[in-house]
């Protein structure tokens, strides 16, 4: 069950603007679920902007631009062997999102 992606509790930390009051977090049971959550956040934003569109499409550059729009974005991923959370930056999240979407596009889960 616990490989690199699954079974590792993941917390995504977001800050929308320079104001500390905009800090928030989302937590997930795995890295894959966290990547689904980030994509879902972006898709909800797209639906807000384009409410009449039935089918949304975007490429990885669009998702990266969305991620770059946050004043801060990072992840804490639970490492069982250390019994601790390890911090990861925005670039790591982008790479994980890319790999996750690539796997989904190829029919994998």
φ, ψ of residue 57 in degrees (nearest 5): -140, 145
**Predicted model pTM:** 0.87
Chain segment 35-52, per-residue pLDDT in tens: 999 999 999 999 999 988
Positive or negative, the Cα torsion across 39, 41, 43, 46? negative
Contacts of 104 (CB under 8 A, 6+ apart): none
The pLDDT tens digits for 14-35 are: 999 999 999 999 999 999 999 9
What pLDDT is attached to residue 99? Answer: 94
Is 83 in a helix, a strand, or coil?
coil
H or E element in which residue 24 lies: strand 23-28
Dump pLDDT digits (tens) for 67-99: 999 999 999 999 999 999 999 999 999 999 999
């Amino acid at each position: 069950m616990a490989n690199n992606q699954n079974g590792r509790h993941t917390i995504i930390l977001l800050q929308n603007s320079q104001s500390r009051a905009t800090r928030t977090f989302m937590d997930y049971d795995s890295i894959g679920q966290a990547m689904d959550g980030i994509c879902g956040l972006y898709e909800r934003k797209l639906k807000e902007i384009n409410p009449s569109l039935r089918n949304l499409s975007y490429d990885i550059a669009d998702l990266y631009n969305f991620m770059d729009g946050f004043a801060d974005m990072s992840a804490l991923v639970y490492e069982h062997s250390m019994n601790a959370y390890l911090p990861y930056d925005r670039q790591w999240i982008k790479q994980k999102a890319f790999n996750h979407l690539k796997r989904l596009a190829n029919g994998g889960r």
